[in-house]
C-alpha cells in the first residue's frame, strides 16, 4: 500500500470519468423501481463532482456530512414509509454512493467508490433481470473495470482506448471461466429472502374486475408471459384464450374471484388426441394464478387446478417461472353440482327494474342456448361500441351502460353479459386472462403482453357443459380475430380512435424492423428461459444429461475451484507465450548452423563472434571451410549491413541446409 | 545481476475489499436465487482471477540494473540510478521499485515498452559512514486491477560509500607549517596566482589544461597556480579532543571541508593513516574516504 500512501492525495480525473460513466449505466434499473429522487440525486452528484473537482471543492465539514446523511435517511423513510424492505435498502446504498461522490477526494476513497458501484450493480439486478437491464449493467461492469485499469495505469493521461481494450480483453479471457462456473458453481440457497420489489406485485390484472381495470392495461407493452407449443401444433389466433382467473362472485359490473379457491383433484379423463402441450414462461405478477389455454387438464408442479379449471400456484409468483401445462381443446362430460349452480345463479340485489325486465324478456326464449343467442343479439343490434376510453360509469352503471352510453371495453361486455345471463336463469361466470398474442416466427413462440388482457364469459348449457361466450366478439369481431393492436390501427385509419402514434406504428411494421424486433424478442426469451431460470434443479438436470446424478454442492465447489485454477493458468500461459521475445529468422538460421557445427565437432564458444568462430570452424572442418565462410559472410551481411539484400536470407538458409548434410 | 526468480503475490487492501464485495454478491445471489446476480458474481470473480495472471506477468521477467551512486555524507540522500529492463514483447505498466533493505521510498515507472528499459532514481537516506551494499531491489506491481501485488526481488551487490556527517563546533587548528612543505610539482595548486606551466599528465583533470595553447597547435600543458596564503593545516585525529570516536571523525570531516572551502592545503593524520598535505578534489575525496573507512 506504499504506492497508495505516497500518491494518496487526489483522485485522478480520468478514472473518475470512467466511474461516472459506469454509474450512469447503473441508473436504468434504479429509475424503473426506486423513488425517482434517489437515482436523480446520484445523477446530480456525479454532475456536481465534475464541476467541483477541477476547482478543488469538496464536502469537508463533518457537520454538513451528518446533516446531509440525516436528510437523505429522512427522505427515504418519507418515500417508502420504512427503512425495511428491498427498495429502501437499495435506496440507502445509492444515497450513500451519492454522498461519497461529493465527499471523496483520496485515491483510497476512489477504490471504495468502485466497490460500492459493484454493489449497486448487484442492487440493479435485484430490481430487474431483463436482458436490456443486464446489458446496461454489463456496460457498467466494463466501464468499472476500465476505471480500475486507468487508476492503476499511472498519472500519464493517455488515450481513452487502452484501458477499455484491456477491460474488454479481461472479460473475454474470463469468459470461458464465467460460462463454466455458471453451469458448475453450486447453487445453494442461503439466508432469508428479501422482500421482492413492490412493482412486481402490481403487474397485470388483479382478482377483481371492474369497469376500467382491463382498459388501463390496454396500452401496456409489458410482457405477461411467453408460450411455446413444443408439439408444433399452433392454434388459430381466435382460439387463443389464455385462461387466468375464474370469477364467480358477480355484482353487476364488478366481479371477483375467490381469494383462496378449493383445489380440484388431478383429472384423469384427458382425451389424448385433443391435448395441446404448452411451455409457458411467466413474468412475475405477484398473484397466484397461472395461465394456460382453455382448458388446462393437469396442473404443473408447484400448482393445482382450482374449481373453474384454472391454475393456482402454491406460492405467489414473484419471479419468472417456467412450466409445462397440457390443455384439452374439447372437454368431456361435466356436472354442475347444486352448490355450484346456486353460486353461478346468484344475482346482486342492486339491479334496477329496467335491467331485470330485459333479462326476464330473454328468459322467455326457453332453452339456455336460445337465451344466450337473444343476449348476443341484443349486443349486436343495439349499437354497442367498443372503445378504449369508455369513460367512467358511476351509479346504476349496468343500466347506464346497457341503455344509454353503450360504450365499453371487454370487461364491460363480459361482466354485464354474465350478470344478465344469471338474471335470465343461465348459470354464468366471468373469465379473465389473455387473448391472442404475437407470434414470433424467429423463436417460434407467442409473446403475450399486458395489452392482450381480455375478459369473457362462460355459461352452463345442459348439453355441452361450460361454454365460452365472448360478447366482445359480437361487438368488435376484428378485436378477436386480429388482436388489439391491429384493431386499434384499423380504427385509427377510419378516424375513430386516435390514441396511438400512427407514424411510430407504421414504422414498427417495416419488415426489416419487424425482423429485428422479433430477433430481439427471441433473444430476450432465450435469456429468460435459458439463463435466468437456471437454478439448482436445472443444474441437477444438466448434470444428469451427462449421466451424473446427485452431485453434492461440495463436489461442485471443488470442481469450480479446479476449473478456476486451470483456466487462470491457461490465461497466464497464453499471455506468457504471446509476450515472449522471439528471435528473428536470421538469428534462428545462424543458431541452427551453430548447432550443426557443434555436432560436427566445432562448438561455438558463448562469447565468440561470427568471424572468429568461422575461422576456428574452418580449421576444424576443412571439408566445409568454403561453405562456412559463405555462411558467415551472409550472416554478417544480413546482420550488420545498412540495407542487406533480401535474397541473401534465402541463400543463407540454403547454405545452412546443405551444411553438414553431405 | 542475478535475479531471484521467485515471484511473490499478496492480496492488497483493495483486494480484500473486493473479496468482501464478492462475498456480498454471492450471498445476495444465493439468498435471492437470482441467476443474473450469480452471473455478476462469476464475472467479477473470474475477471479478478484472470487479472492475477496479468499482474504476475506484469512483473515476471523484468530485470533491474543499478549504477554506482555518488558518495554522500551520512544523513544525506543517496541517489541510486536504476534501469528496469523489459526484454519481452509485452508492455509493462505501473511498476514500483524499491531498494528493499535501504528503507527508501518507492519509485514508480508508468510504462515500459516492449524490449525497452525505463530509468528512475531511487532515493534514500544514507545510513552511518562506511561501505554499504544495495543488496536487494524489489520490483512490484498491482496492475491492472489492484487486487494483488506481485513482488519480485532482485539481488544486486552495488556498493556505495558514506562519509561521516560533517559536524562540530571547533575552529580549524591554526598550526602553520612553512610554505616549503608544499610540493609544487605534485599538484596544479588551487590558488589564484599563475605559476607557469608543466606537461600534461594523462589521467589528470583537464580543468587546468591550457586549451588556448592547444588550439595554437602546442602540446597539452597544465597551468600551475599557487596560493598566496602560505599556511598548511595539519588535521590530526590525536589532536581532536573528546573520547567519542565518531564525534571526532565528524569534527575532522567538518575541518576537511572547511579547509577545502577556504582553499588552504591540509594534511590528514589518522591512527595508521597519513595523507600528506595537499588541496583539490582528489585530495578531498582521499581524505573523506579515509575518514569514512577508518576503523
Please say whether the beta carbons of A460 and A345 come within 8 A.
no
Please say whether the beta carbons of A93 and A119 come within 8 A.
yes
Among B107, B164, B187, which Cα is nearest to B141's?
Answer: B107
**Grid cell digits, residue A439:** 407470434
Bridge partners, residue B225, by sequence: B194
Nearest CA in chain A to B59: A576
Q: Measured between CB atoms, does A578 come within 8 Å of chain B?
A: yes
- DSSP per-residue codes, B75-103: TSEEEEEEEEEE-SSS-EEEEEEEEGGGT
Q: Measured between CB atoms, does A137 come within 8 Å of chain B?
A: yes
Q: DSSP letter for A121, please.
A: H
Among B190, B199, B209, which Cα is nearest to B265's?
Answer: B190
Dump pLDDT digits (tens) for A383-399. 888 877 777 777 677 88
**Grid cell digits, residue B279:** 588541496
Nearest CA in chain A to B86: A581
Please list, in sequence order, all residues whose beta carbon lies within 8 angstroms of the beta carbon of residue A132, skipping any fewer than 6 positions away. A28, A524
Nearest CA in chain A to B32: A193
Average pLDDT of the segment spanning A175-197: 79
Long-range (24+ apart) CB contacts under 8 A made by A89-95 are A89/A194, A90/A30, A90/A34, A90/A123, A90/A126, A90/A127, A91/A34, A91/A35, A91/A38, A93/A119, A93/A120, A93/A123, A94/A30, A94/A34, A94/A38, A94/A39, A94/A41, A94/A42, A94/A120, A94/A123, A95/A38, A95/A41
Give all strands (DSSP E) within A123-237, no chain letters. 208-209, 223-228
User: Which of A654-658, B94-98, B197-201 is the least confident region?
Assistant: B197-201
**Which residue has better confidence, A388 or A496?**
A388
Query: Cβ separation of A582 and B89 shorter than 8 Å?
Result: yes
Q: DSSP letter for A383, please.
A: T
Dump pLDDT digits (tens) for B180-225. 444 444 455 555 556 667 777 777 777 777 888 788 877 777 776 6
Between CA A140 and CA A19 the distance in angstroms is 9
Q: Measured between CB atoms, does B24 come within 8 Å of chain A?
A: yes
Q: Measured between CB atoms, does A571 come within 8 Å of chain B?
A: yes
Please say whether the beta carbons of B151 and B8 come within 8 A.
yes
- Residue A492 pLDDT class (50, 70, 90 cuts): low
Q: Measured between CB atoms, does A531 come within 8 Å of chain B?
A: yes
Q: Order of strands across the sheet with B77-86?
A: B62-66, B77-86, B117-125
Q: Is the pLDDT of residue A75 over 70?
A: yes
Q: Is the pLDDT of residue B228 over 80?
A: no
Among B59, B289, B281, B254, which Cα is nearest to B159's?
Answer: B289
Between CA B186 and CA A345 the distance in angstroms is 135
Which of B5, B12, B20, B53 to mutate to probe the A interface, most A CBs <10 Å? B53
Q: Is the pLDDT of residue A49 over 60?
A: yes
- The predicted pLDDT at position A546 comes to 84
Cβ neighbour number for residue A24 with a 10 Å cutoff: 17
- The predicted pLDDT at position A8 comes to 47
Among A129, A454, A120, which Cα is nearest to A318's?
Answer: A129
Between CA B100 and CA B218 the distance in angstroms is 54
Q: Measured between CB atoms, does B52 come within 8 Å of chain A?
A: yes
- The predicted pLDDT at position A461 comes to 86
Q: At what angle do helices A585-599 and A625-640 cross, to 10 degrees?
A: 160
Average pLDDT of the segment spanning A326-348: 80
Between the CA of residue A159 and those of A12, A163, B65, B99, what are the distances in Å?
Answer: 15, 8, 30, 32
Residue B10 C-alpha, separation from nearest chain A C-alpha, in angstroms: 11
| Phi, psi angle pair for B167, to nearest 5° | -160, 145
- The predicted pLDDT at position A498 comes to 41
Q: Is the pLDDT of residue A94 over 80?
A: yes
Q: Is the pLDDT of residue A233 over 60?
A: yes
Residue B13 C-alpha, separation from nearest chain A C-alpha, in angstroms: 7
Please list, in sequence order, all residues whose beta carbon lies within 8 angstroms of the beta carbon of residue B265, skipping any fewer than 6 positions away. B182, B227, B232, B233, B259, B277, B278, B279
Bridge partners, residue A66, by sequence: none
- Residue A51: strand, helix, or coil: helix
Kindly list the residues from chain B whose CB atom is less than 8 angstroms away from the CB atom of residue A568: 49-50, 52-53
Please tell me which of the candidates B39, B96, B146 has its beta carbon nearest to residue A148: B146
Is the peptide bond prior to B144 cis by the omega test (within 30 degrees of 0)? Answer: yes
Average pLDDT of the segment spanning A205-221: 78
Q: Measured between CB atoms, does A267 come within 8 Å of chain B?
A: no
Please say whether the beta carbons of A436 and A452 come within 8 A.
yes
Residue B9 C-alpha, separation from nearest chain A C-alpha, in angstroms: 13
Nearest CA in chain A to B147: A148
Residue B154 C-alpha, separation from nearest chain A C-alpha, in angstroms: 19
Between the CA of residue A471 and those of A209, A215, A397, A464, what are the distances in Å?
Answer: 16, 16, 18, 19
Q: Measured between CB atoms, does A188 come within 8 Å of chain B?
A: yes
Cβ within 8 Å of B, A 25-64: none
CA atoms within 13 A on the CB side of A50: 13
Please tell me which of the candidates A137, A154, A568 has its beta carbon nearest to residue B52: A568
Kindly list the residues from chain B whose CB atom is less than 8 angstroms away from the CB atom of residue A171: 43, 47
- The predicted pLDDT at position B201 comes to 75
pTM of the full predicted structure? 0.73
CA atoms within 13 A on the CB side of A471: 37
> Which of A139-148, A292-301, B257-266 is predicted most confidently?
A139-148
Nearest CA in chain A to B46: A174
Query: Cβ separation of B35 and A149 shorter than 8 Å?
Result: no
SS (H, E, C) B185-211: HHCCCCCCEEEEEEECCCCCCHHHECH
Helices (H), B12-145: 13-32, 35-59
- Residue A283: strand, helix, or coil: coil
- The predicted pLDDT at position A177 comes to 95
Dump pLDDT digits (tens) for A572-593. 999 888 888 777 788 888 888 8
Between CA A613 and CA A620 the distance in angstroms is 10
- Residue A282: strand, helix, or coil: strand
Between CA B149 and CA A277 the distance in angstroms is 57
Q: Measured between CB atoms, does A625 come within 8 Å of chain B?
A: no
- Residue A309 pLDDT class (50, 70, 90 cuts): confident
- The predicted pLDDT at position A210 comes to 80
Q: Is the pLDDT of residue A112 over 90?
A: yes
Residue A220 C-alpha, separation from nearest chain B C-alpha, in angstroms: 25
Task: Give percent of chain B with pLDDT exceeding 70.
Answer: 88
Between CA B25 and CA A137 the distance in angstroms is 14
Between CA A14 and CA B114 the distance in angstroms is 25
- Chains A, B: CB contacts under 8 A, how many? 179
Please list, in sequence order, all residues whose beta carbon lies within 8 angstroms of the beta carbon of residue B203, skipping any fewer than 6 positions away. none
- Residue A269 pLDDT class (50, 70, 90 cuts): low
Please say whether the beta carbons of A422 and A404 come within 8 A.
no
Please tell me which of the candidates B18, B28, B53 has its beta carbon nearest to residue A122: B28
- Residue A5 pLDDT class (50, 70, 90 cuts): very low
Q: Measured between CB atoms, does A157 come within 8 Å of chain B?
A: no
Number of H helices, E strands in chain A: 24, 19
Between CA A628 and CA A645 the distance in angstroms is 19
Residue B278 CA to its chain's centroid (Å): 28
Average pLDDT of the segment spanning A616-645: 87
Name the average pLDDT for chain A: 83
Between CA B38 and CA B131 the distance in angstroms is 59
Q: DSSP letter for A264, please.
A: B
Cβ neighbour number for residue A481 with a 10 Å cutoff: 14
Q: Is the pLDDT of residue A10 over 80?
A: no
Strand duo B148-163 + B72-73: pairing: parallel
- The predicted pLDDT at position A324 comes to 87
Between CA B235 and CA B270 the distance in angstroms is 9
Between CA A461 and CA B160 the distance in angstroms is 109
**Grid cell digits, residue B16:** 480484500
Nearest CA in chain A to B144: A149
- Residue A345 pLDDT class (50, 70, 90 cuts): confident
Between CA A625 and CA A465 the distance in angstroms is 110
Q: Is the pLDDT of residue B4 over 60?
A: no
Please tell me which of the candidates B27, B49, B146 has its beta carbon nearest to residue A177: B49
Please tell me which of the candidates B17, B57, B110 has its beta carbon nearest to residue A155: B110
Measure the CA angle with vertex A306, ends A302 and A307; round to 5°: 170
- The predicted pLDDT at position A487 comes to 64
Among B15, B174, B151, B242, which Cα is nearest to A114's?
Answer: B15
Give all strands (DSSP E) within B207-280, no chain letters. 221-226, 233-236, 266-270, 273-278
Between CA A82 and CA A69 the distance in angstroms is 16
Between CA A494 and CA A548 the distance in angstroms is 63
Rounded to 10 degrees, the C-alpha dihedral A70/A72/A78/A82 comes to -80
**Which residue has better confidence, A303 or A190?**
A303
Kindly list the residues from chain B whose CB atom is less than 8 angstroms away from the CB atom of residue A126: 28, 32, 34, 37
**Which residue has better confidence, B20 or B208?**
B20
Kindly list the residues from chain A whose CB atom is less than 8 angstroms away from the CB atom of residue B106: 2-3, 6
First to last CA, chain A: 64
Please say whether the beta carbons of B88 and B114 come within 8 A.
yes
Q: Measured between CB atoms, does B10 come within 8 Å of chain A?
A: no
Dump pLDDT digits (tens) for A188-209. 876 555 555 444 456 778 888 8
Kindly list the residues from chain A whose CB atom is less than 8 angstroms away from the CB atom of residue B142: 3, 152
User: Which of A411-420, A454-463, A529-538, B92-101 is the least confident region?
Assistant: A529-538
Between CA A595 and CA A589 the distance in angstroms is 10
- Residue B137: strand, helix, or coil: strand
Kindly list the residues from chain A whose CB atom is less than 8 angstroms away from the CB atom of residue B56: 572
Amino acid at each position: 500500500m506504499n504506492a497508495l500512501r505516497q500518491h494518496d492525495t487526489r483522485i485522478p480525473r480520468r478514472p473518475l470519468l470512467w466511474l461516472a460513466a459506469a454509474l450512469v449505466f447503473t441508473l436504468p434499473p434504479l429509475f424503473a423501481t426506486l423513488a425517482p429522487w434517489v437515482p436523480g440525486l446520484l445523477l446530480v452528484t456525479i454532475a456536481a463532482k465534475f464541476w467541483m473537482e477541477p476547482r478543488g471543492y469538496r464536502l469537508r465539514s463533518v457537520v454538513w456530512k451528518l446533516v446531509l446523511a440525516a436528510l437523505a435517511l429522512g427522505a427515504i423513510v418519507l418515500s417508502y414509509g420504512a427503512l425495511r424492505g428491498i427498495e429502501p435498502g437499495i435506496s440507502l446504498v445509492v444515497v450513500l454512493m451519492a454522498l461519497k461522490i461529493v465527499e471523496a477526494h483520496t485515491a483510497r476513497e476512489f477504490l471504495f467508490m468502485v466497490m460500492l458501484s459493484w454493489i449497486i450493480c448487484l442492487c440493479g439486478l435485484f430490481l430487474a433481470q431483463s436482458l436490456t437491464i443486464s446489458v446496461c449493467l454489463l456496460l457498467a461492469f466494463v466501464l468499472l473495470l476500465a476505471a480500475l485499469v486507468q487508476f492503476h495505469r499511472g498519472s500519464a493521461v493517455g488515450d481513452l482506448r487502452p484501458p477499455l481494450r484491456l477491460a474488454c480483453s479481461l472479460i473475454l479471457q474470463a469468459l470461458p471461466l464465467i460460462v463454466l462456473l455458471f453451469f458448475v458453481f453450486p447453487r445453494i440457497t442461503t439466508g432469508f429472502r428479501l422482500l421482492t420489489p413492490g412493482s412486481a406485485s402490481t403487474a397485470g390484472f388483479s382478482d377483481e374486475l371492474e369497469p376500467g381495470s382491463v382498459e388501463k392495461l390496454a396500452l401496456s407493452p409489458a410482457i405477461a408471459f411467453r408460450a411455446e407449443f413444443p408439439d408444433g401444433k399452433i392454434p388459430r389466433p381466435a382460439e387463443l384464450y389464455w385462461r387466468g382467473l375464474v370469477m364467480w362472485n358477480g355484482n353487476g359490473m364488478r366481479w371477483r374471484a375467490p381469494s383462496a379457491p378449493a383445489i380440484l383433484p388431478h383429472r384423469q379423463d384427458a382425451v389424448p388426441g385433443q391435448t395441446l402441450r404448452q411451455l409457458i414462461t411467466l413474468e412475475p405478477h405477484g398473484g397466484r394464478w397461472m395461465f394456460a389455454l382453455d382448458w388446462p387438464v393437469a396442473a404443473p408442479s408447484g400448482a393445482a387446478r382450482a374449481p373453474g379449471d384454472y391454475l393456482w400456484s402454491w406460492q405467489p409468483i414473484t419471479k419468472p417461472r417456467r412450466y409445462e401445462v397440457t390443455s384439452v381443446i374439447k372437454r368431456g362430460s361435466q356436472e354442475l353440482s347444486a352448490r355450484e349452480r346456486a353460486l353461478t345463479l346468484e344475482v346482486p340485489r342492486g339491479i334496477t327494474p329496467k335491467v331485470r325486465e330485459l333479462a326476464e324478456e330473454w328468459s322467455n326464449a326457453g332453452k339456455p342456448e336460445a337465451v344466450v343467442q337473444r343476449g348476443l343479439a341484443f349486443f349486436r343490434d343495439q349499437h354497442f361500441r367498443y372503445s378504449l376510453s369508455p369513460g367512467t360509469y358511476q351509479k346504476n352503471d349496468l343500466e347506464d351502460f346497457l341503455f344509454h352510453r353503450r360504450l365499453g371495453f371487454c370487461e364491460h361486455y363480459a361482466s354485464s353479459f354474465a350478470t344478465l345471463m344469471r338474471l335470465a336463469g343461465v348459470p354464468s361466470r366471468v373469465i379473465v386472462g389473455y387473448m391472442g398474442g404475437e407470434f414470433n416466427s424467429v423463436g417460434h413462440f407467442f409473446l403475450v403482453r399486458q395489452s392482450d388482457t381480455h375478459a369473457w364469459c362462460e355459461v352452463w348449457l345442459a348439453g355441452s357443459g361450460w361454454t365460452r361466450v365472448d360478447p366482445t366478439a359480437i361487438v368488435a369481431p376484428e378485436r378477436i380475430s386480429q388482436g388489439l393492436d391491429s384493431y386499434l390501427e384499423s380504427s385509427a385509419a377510419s378516424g375513430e380512435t386516435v390514441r396511438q402514434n400512427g407514424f411510430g406504428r407504421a414504422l414498427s411494421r417495416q419488415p426489416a424492423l419487424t425482423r429485428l424486433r422479433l430477433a430481439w424478442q427471441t433473444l430476450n426469451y432465450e435469456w429468460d428461459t435459458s439463463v435466468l431460470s437456471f437454478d439448482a434443479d436445472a443444474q441437477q438436470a444438466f448434470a444428469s444429461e451427462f449421466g451424473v446424478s446427485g452431485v453434492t454442492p461440495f463436489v461442485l465447489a471443488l470442481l469450480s475451484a479446479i476449473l478456476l485454477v486451470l483456466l487462470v493458468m491457461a490465461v497466464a500461459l497464453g499471455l506468457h507465450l504471446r509476450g515472449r521475445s522471439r528471435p528473428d529468422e536470421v538469428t534462428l538460421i545462424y543458431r541452427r548452423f551453430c548447432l550443426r557445427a557443434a555436432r560436427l565437432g566445432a562448438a561455438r564458444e558463448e562469447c565468440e563472434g561470427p568471424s572468429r568462430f568461422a575461422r576456428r570452424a574452418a580449421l576444424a572442418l576443412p571439408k566445409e571451410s568454403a561453405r562456412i565462410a559463405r555462411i558467415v559472410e551472409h550472416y554478417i551481411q544480413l546482420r550488420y549491413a545498412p540495407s542487406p539484400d533480401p535474397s541473401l536470407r534465402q541463400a543463407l538458409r540454403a547454405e545452412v541446409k546443405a551444411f553438414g548434410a553431405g | 545481476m542475478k535475479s531471484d526468480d521467485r515471484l511473490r503475490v499478496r492480496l492488497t487492501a483493495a483486494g480484500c475489499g473486493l473479496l468482501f464485495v464478492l462475498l456480498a454478491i454471492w450471498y445476495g445471489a444465493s439468498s435471492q436465487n437470482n441467476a443474473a446476480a450469480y452471473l455478476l458474481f462469476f464475472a467479477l470473480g473470474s475477471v479478478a482471477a484472470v487479472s492475477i495472471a496479468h499482474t504476475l506477468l506484469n512483473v515476471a521477467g523484468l530485470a533491474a540494473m543499478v549504477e554506482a551512486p555518488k558518495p554522500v555524507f551520512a544523513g544525506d540522500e543517496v541517489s541510486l540510478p536504476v534501469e528496469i529492463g523489459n526484454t519481452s514483447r509485452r508492455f509493462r505498466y505501473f511498476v514500483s521499485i524499491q531498494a528493499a533493505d535501504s528503507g527508501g521510498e518507492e519509485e514508480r515507472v508508468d510504462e515500459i515498452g516492449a524490449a525497452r528499459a525505463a530509468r528512475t532514481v531511487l532515493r534514500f537516506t544514507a545510513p552511518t559512514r562506511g561501505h554499504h551494499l544495495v543488496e536487494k531491489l524489489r520490483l512490484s506491481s498491482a496492475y491492472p486491477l489492484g487486487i494483488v501485488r506481485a513482488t519480485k526481488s532482485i539481488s544486486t551487490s552495488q556498493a556505495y560509500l558514506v562519509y561521516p556527517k560533517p559536524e562540530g563546533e571547533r575552529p580549524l587548528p591554526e598550526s602553520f607549517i612553512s610554505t616549503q612543505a608544499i610540493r609544487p610539482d605534485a599538484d596544479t595548486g588551487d590558488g589564484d596566482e599563475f605559476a607557469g606551466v608543466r606537461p600534461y599528465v594523462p589521467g589528470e583533470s583537464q580543468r587546468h589544461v591550457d586549451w588556448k595553447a592547444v588550439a595554437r597547435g602546442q602540446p597539452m600543458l597544465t597551468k600551475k597556480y599557487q596560493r598566496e596564503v602560505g599556511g598548511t593545516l595539519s588535521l590530526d585525529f590525536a589532536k581532536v579532543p573528546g573520547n567519542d570516536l565518531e564525534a571526532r571523525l565528524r569534527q575532522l570531516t567538518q575541518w576537511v571541508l572547511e579547509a577545502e572551502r577556504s582553499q588552504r592545503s591540509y594534511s590528514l593524520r589518522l591512527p595508521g593513516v597519513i595523507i600528506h598535505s595537499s588541496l583539490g578534489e582528489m585530495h578531498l575525496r582521499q581524505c573523506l574516504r579515509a575518514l569514512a573507512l577508518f576503523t
